[in-house]
Amino acid sequence: MADSAQLIAHLLRRAGFGVGPDEQAAFGGLSYAQAVDRLVNYDAIPDAVDTHIGQAGYLGTTSNGPFSPNTVETDAQQRWLFRMVHSQRPLQEKMTLFWHNYFATGFDKIAGVVTATHATRLMAGKASEDPVGQRGQIEMFRANALGSLRDLLIQVTIDPAMLIWLDGDTNTKAQPQENFGRELMELFSRGVGYYTESDVYAAARVFTGVNLQTNGDVRTPTVSFGWIYRANQHDTASKTFSFPIYPDGGKTIPARSASVGTQDAIDLIDALAYHPETARRVARKLYDFFVSETITPAQADIDALANIYLQNGTQIKPVLQAIFMAPQFQDQAMHFTRYAWPVEFVVRALKEVGWTGYSAASALGPLSSMGQQLLEPPNVAGWVLGQSWFSTGAMLTRMNWASNLAANQQFRIAAAAAGAKSSPTALVDFLTSRLTTDLDPAVRADLITYASAGGVWTGSDTQLRAKGAGIVHLILGSAAYQFV
Amino acid sequence: MSLTRRTFIKNGVAAFTVTLAVPRFVSDLAHAQGPVSRNLIVLDLSGGNDGLSLLVPYLDPFYYSRRPTLGIPAGTVLPIGSDTSGKALGLHPKLTGLQGIFNDGRLAFLQRVGYANSSRSHFFGTDIWSTANPGNSTGSGWVGRYLSTIAPPLDPLVAWNTTGDTPHMLQSSSVAVASIPSVSAYAFQSPTGGAESALERTAATSIASHIPVDKPQVAFVSTTVQSALATLDRVASVGQYAPSVTYPNNGFGQALRAVAGAMAKGTGTKVFWVQTGGFDTHASQDTIADNGAYVKLMVTLNDGLTALYNDLKNQGLLSNTLLLSFSEFGRRITENGSRGTDHGAASVMFAMGGGVRGGLYGTSADLSPDPKNPTLENAAGDVTFETDFRSAYAKVLDNWLGADSVAVLGGNFRKSGIEFV
């Protein structure tokens, strides 16, 4: 069994983005159970992270004009990275990222329809900072990060970004549009193999008339977007599915008058959210994300989580509590075994190496080359996880970004390591203790060989900067560091 | 420390072999792997290409009646003749370069390719086309399996992916794929530079040589680092490539430029992977206007492939090259209310290269909405396949790559009448 500090660090890498000075302060004196409680019940902690953007001592941001995360995509990406580094509610940011991947919606298509400015609003706009209170999809996930999947499915169905992304805005009675209905069943609930083509056609008809509402002129900053139900575009005929829609086993959504046609969608979503296959699928997704993506879980473990989900009205919070308290999660053999997503790698490195004088903007291009551009998942199925992050090109990008960060932070690294300048070995041991990872002794030997090479060790400032930055680069670019 | 692959590869993607015998420049090893230096470029038109807008049955009245806004006017298509059923076909108006290559006899279209009960899921469909196995699409890719048949040791540049993620089609349990989305960024950097950079590279190489037997995930990444470091210099040489034509300044064009550069610099690469996306045209597909969504897709496709063809021809490399396109499914025949098309079934593939026997293979569908129309399915909503996609793969494996298609595809899919290569 790992000691409490190691276990909490593991928890913070998985349920957050790692351990920096802020986490050390906040979680330092807590028991493991208290740490889980603090993470999960984050509503008790003020959501004040955004107030620190632009302040000294925090991760920087760089913008072409005034920093405008509600209307400029790269600023929105920077704000999200900032939150991941500095939020006092790390699990909220982690689950927002989870939902962004689960309901993967891409910025470009939306920008093509409503312009990049409004696409940023629809993806990441913060209602309290918007002239007409427009809230973006990411903010919606953030507000419902641990809430019920049923409510999320309803919210996603009428989310303006999603209505554009999966073409719901053009779903009409005469020509039902299948895109959303298909992905709702394939990706957002039951999964491939648990629906038929005729279910797709029926689902498309369920959502006929649920369209995008644009209030105002898209050329103005005050246009707002919402959803509208066009009763005259709703297919009122009955819709029969291959699986039960109602508790009595009924598979047919009855014909009903157009005026109450949105009930079709509610009936279908209720059925999907509470279907046992959805419960197992969500449980497995959360298990893979938090516990292990490489070990096939016992069916009983997935069923237990699925039951918690079903018994709690599809709420996610109780499922997460159960996961974090489970021995399977805490098992030391699981530590440092999940392939870090690019944003996890970058944010953790910033937390452990330092961020003062570094701009989030400097990470955006490299993140894209590592395979993860926030707000731009490759398609509606989200990013391909695990080993797929580690092509040769993407790994080189991680190594080269590590070099960039180490160069940027070399004075601070050297200053922090001043007490360890007595020998190459002392320097290596100081830096490996700071950059937590499961480092092979042979790697430590390589680092010491590197630190000793190229001249007599004097411990001069110049040498400390070069070797300190070099060691940080090598650790961050090592295979072992690519795991959370 | 040296161990065989099998000890650390569990399931899924192959890591790189630990004992790399990497020649520094022109790959003697690659040449030693076979007398023929033929290569295959796989082109993924991702999103589900609308074959009826690429290869247009411009005399079929149902094409126009079922596509009132998407039907491309007959007077604007680029006629390329008729298929064996007598159906007149023309290329999308923007495919002028491809028309020239067709007229050179170096471009072949294979019509109505697919499989029974075609998946309409992007992801499942891509998996099926990748594995060549509609029954179980979770295993290795068919190109990956072909690579596995090449006698080891394999050069780490034997397969060159121009995108970020290793495509499923190239994955196997024993051969790793180099992913090189940008040749210029494929380099080793150092925070300090100078002499320190060389010391760091030595250290990074040593660190990556420790393969923990009990940590398969770390072993996997370590071998990725090894391979990246081992291929840096040769990839850098491709960055020096001076093409004979100007490639379009977009992702697809630059990927094709890198492919030609790798061939010209003799990396010995057997398989390249290129991709151009945006084919999921559910709404506002616009096949006609100059800024239309599908029109732009065709411009990107035409300009990139024409540049590649001309460059390889100028360099004397065309005879070694075969490009094969695929897409995860075709699209519905009747346009939808969003002036787009939904996910469909069978579609068109094409092959381009010096060994290609150009022409029109297979027959076009009859687009009559009669539910009994045998060339259509799904209540005459979709095109029914005539040629199993694995038959196209078999032709490439047997006739071009010199492999045994039965072994690679797990069955005999050989078919006569489609001798496009």
pLDDT tens track for A456-480: 999 999 999 999 999 999 999 999 9
| Contact at CB, A446 and B121, closer than 8 angstroms | no
Q: Are residues A385 and A415 in the same domain?
A: no
Query: Mind telling me how many Å the CA of A346 is from chain B's nearest CA?
Result: 17
Is A299 part of a structural domain of the chain? no
Is B277 part of a structural domain of the chain? yes
Q: Are residues A20 and A92 in the same domain?
A: yes
Q: What is the pLDDT of residue B2?
A: 29
Q: Which residue has the tokens 């805005």?
A: A169
| Contact at CB, B164 and A167, closer than 8 angstroms | no
Q: State yes or no: pLDDT of B17 exceeds 60.
A: no
Q: Which residues of B touch A465 (CB under 8 A)?
A: 192
Q: Are residues A266 and A206 in the same domain?
A: yes
- The Cα-based distances of A1 to A18, A33, A330, B217, B361 in angstroms read 20, 15, 8, 22, 65
Q: What is the pLDDT of residue B28?
A: 39
Is B420 part of a structural domain of the chain? no
pLDDT 10s digits, A366-379: 998 898 999 999 88
Q: State yes or no: pLDDT of B34 exceeds 70.
A: no
Q: Which of B120, B200, B201, B215 to mutate to test the interface with A (most CBs of A within 10 A)?
A: B200
What is the amino acid identity at position A295?
I
Closest-approach residue (CA) in chain B for A438: B218
Please state the domain count of chain B. 1
Q: Which residues of A touch B283 (CB under 8 A)?
A: 167, 170, 177
Confidence of residue B10 (pLDDT cuts 50, 70, 90): very low
**% of chain A exceeding 90 in pLDDT:** 90
| Contact at CB, B283 and A167, closer than 8 angstroms | yes
Range B278-299 average pLDDT: 95
pLDDT 10s digits, A202-249: 999 999 999 999 999 998 999 999 999 999 999 999 999 999 999 999
| Contact at CB, B207 and A404, closer than 8 angstroms | no
Q: Any idea which of A153-157, A387-391, A442-446 has the lowest mean pLDDT? A: A387-391
- Written in H, E and C, the secondary structure of chain A is CCCHHHHHHHHHHHHCCCCCHHHHHHHCCCCHHHHHHHHHCHHHCCCCHHHHCCCCCCCECCCCCCCCCCCCHHHHHHHHHHHHHHCCCHHHHHHHHHHHHHCCCCHHHHHHHHHHHHHHHHHHCCHHHCCCCCCCHHHHHHHCCCCEHHHHHHHHHCCHHHHHHCCHHHCCCCCCCCHHHHHHHHCCCCCCCCCCHHHHHHHHHHCCCEEEEEECCCCCCCCEEEEEECHHHCCCCCEECCCCCCCCCCCEECCCCHHHCHHHHHHHHHHHHCCHHHHHHHHHHHHHHHCCCCCCCCHHHHHHHHHHHHHCCCECHHHHHHHHHCHHHHCHHHCCCCECCHHHHHHHHHHHHCCCCCECHHHHHHHHHHCCCCCCCCCCCCCCCHHHHCCHHHHHHHHHHHHHHHHHCHHHHHHHHHHHCCCHHHHHHHHHHHCCCCCCHHHHHHHHHHHHCCCCCCCCHHHHHHHHHHHHHHHHCCHHHHEC
Query: Mind telling me how many Å the CA of B418 is from chain A's nearest CA?
Result: 31
**B157: helix, coil or strand?**
coil
**% of chain A exceeding 70 in pLDDT:** 100
| Contact at CB, B204 and A170, closer than 8 angstroms | no
Nearest to B212 among A371, A440, A454 (CB): A440
Q: What is the pLDDT of residue B18?
A: 34
Q: Which of B122, B217, B273 to mutate to test the interface with A (most CBs of A within 10 A)?
A: B217
Q: Which residues of A touch B222 (CB under 8 A)?
A: 479
Tokens found for residue B167: 């495509």
Q: Which residues of B touch A188 (CB under 8 A)?
A: none
ipTM of the complex: 0.94
Q: What is the CATH number of the domain that holds B375?
A: 3.40.720
The size of the A-B interface in CB pairs under 8 A is 191
Please state the domain count of chain A. 3
Q: Are residues A13 and A59 in the same domain?
A: yes
Nearest to A440 among B189, B200, B210 (CB): B210
Report the distance separating Cα A98 and Cα A226, nearest Å. 24
Of A375, A403, A431, the last residue of a domain is A403
Range A423-443 average pLDDT: 93
Report the distance separating Cα B369 and Cα B376, nearest Å. 8
Q: Which residues of B touch A384 (CB under 8 A)?
A: 165
Closest-approach residue (CA) in chain B for A335: B215
Q: Are residues A10 and A34 in the same domain?
A: yes
Is A41 part of a structural domain of the chain? yes
Is A52 part of a structural domain of the chain? yes
Q: Which residues of B touch A381 (CB under 8 A)?
A: 122-123
Q: What is the pLDDT of residue A141?
A: 98
Alpha helices in B58-166 (DSSP H): 61-65, 96-103, 122-131, 142-148
pLDDT 10s digits, B217-262: 999 999 999 989 999 999 999 999 999 999 999 999 999 999 999 9
Mean pLDDT of chain B: 90
Q: Are residues A161 and A241 in the same domain?
A: yes
Q: Which residue has the tokens 């159960």?
A: A322
Confidence of residue A2 (pLDDT cuts 50, 70, 90): low
Q: State yes or no: pLDDT of B4 exceeds 80.
A: no
Nearest to B199 among A406, A453, A480 (CB): A453
Is A133 part of a structural domain of the chain? no
Q: How many CA atoms lie within 13 A of A70 on its CB side?
A: 16
Q: What is the pLDDT of residue A375?
A: 97
Range A248-256 average pLDDT: 97
Q: Are residues A180 and A267 in the same domain?
A: yes
Nearest to B338 among A177, A395, A438 (CB): A177
| Contact at CB, B188 and A404, closer than 8 angstroms | no
Q: Are residues A434 and A477 in the same domain?
A: yes
Contact B27, B266 (CB under 8 A): yes
Q: Are residues A369 and A265 in the same domain?
A: no
Range B186-208 average pLDDT: 95
Closest-approach residue (CA) in chain A for B190: A403
Q: Are residues A383 and A415 in the same domain?
A: no
Q: Which domain holds residue B227?
A: 5-409
Closest-approach residue (CA) in chain A for B235: A393
Closest-approach residue (CA) in chain A for B217: A337
Tokens found for residue A184: 């709702």
Contact B186, B162 (CB under 8 A): no
**% of chain B exceeding 90 in pLDDT:** 78
Closest-approach residue (CA) in chain A for B176: A391
Closest-approach residue (CA) in chain B for A113: B284
Q: State yes or no: pLDDT of B13 exceeds 50.
A: no
Q: Any idea which of A18-22, A230-234, B168-172 has the lowest mean pLDDT? A: B168-172
| Contact at CB, B123 and A466, closer than 8 angstroms | no
Range A246-262 average pLDDT: 97
Confidence of residue A393 (pLDDT cuts 50, 70, 90): confident
Range A146-155 average pLDDT: 98
| Contact at CB, A391 and B166, closer than 8 angstroms | yes
Query: Mind telling me how many Å the CA of B145 is from chain A's nearest CA?
Result: 18
Q: Which domain holds residue A233?
A: 148-276
Query: Mind telling me how many Å the CA of B367 is from chain A's nearest CA?
Result: 19
Confidence of residue A439 (pLDDT cuts 50, 70, 90): confident
Is B415 part of a structural domain of the chain? no
| Contact at CB, A170 and B190, closer than 8 angstroms | no
Range A312-339 average pLDDT: 97
| Contact at CB, A454 and B195, closer than 8 angstroms | yes
pLDDT 10s digits, B35-69: 348 999 999 999 999 999 999 999 999 999 999 99
Is B264 part of a structural domain of the chain? yes
Q: Are residues A369 and A448 in the same domain?
A: no
Q: Which of A105, A396, A452, A465 to mutate to test the interface with B (most CBs of B within 10 A)?
A: A396
Q: What is the pLDDT of residue B47?
A: 94
Q: Are residues A261 and A344 in the same domain?
A: no
